[in-house]
Amino acid sequence: MNESFVTIMGNVVGDPQGRSTKAGKPFASFRVASTVRRWDSEQRRFVDGSTNFVNVVGFNALGGNIMASLHKGDPVVVYGRLRVNQYVAADGKNMTSVEVDAHGVGHDLTRGQSLFSRPERSQYDVTDRLADPNIQAAMSEEERDRDEPQDLRELDGLEVGGGFDRTVEDADTDPYVVTTG
């Protein structure tokens, strides 16, 4: 099973479109425009090359997060499985489209800033045993407990790390030195 995985950097061409498969699984699709920029030594500046347009599809939770996070014009990085589709259009012309089945999508942080937020865990497959509301509530509670920082005052006298006879007071607490470049 040979598959080609690609990473594409570009801009979202239009707002993502949300849909569902025949089996009821949600997905989002959008297009990315990726333009090559090269240094032209004769003109002594960067010049734009041709633009590639790629269709991107994200399923299940990724699709939902795409719908909530991306908008037309956003700079993105897309990683996923490459698919090249060849077909005959209604007018008889042979056509080719390029699609990426996304495994990961994010904002391109070389071109701006982004704020990450973790949504409530969505369960899209209701036949999955993890879809049970009691299990979902327990998992949400575990994540909330794991994300909350512990108050260091509660840790006084506890061992730091397993197998070491050190307490929190003995831990390395040298102050940081901030230097300016």
pLDDT band for position 111 (cuts 50, 70, 90): very high
The answer, yes or no, to whether residue 46 has pLDDT greater than 80, is yes
Cα-to-chain-centroid distance, residue 7: 12
Owner of token pair 């908008």:
71
- What is the rounded average pLDDT for all residues in the chain? 79
161 in helix, strand or coil? coil
Q: How far apart are CA 81 and CA 132, in angstroms?
A: 32
* pTM for the full predicted model: 0.62
CATH architecture of structural domain 5-108: Beta Barrel (2.40)
pLDDT digits (tens, 9 = 90+) for 76-104: 999 999 999 899 999 999 999 999 999 99
Higher pLDDT, 109 or 152: 109
Strand 5-12, strand 75-88: pairing: antiparallel
Q: Where are the domains of the chain?
A: 5-108, 119-147
Q: How far apart are CA 94 and CA 115, in angstroms?
A: 43
> Cβ of 25: how many Cβ atoms within 10 Å?
13
37-66 mean pLDDT: 92
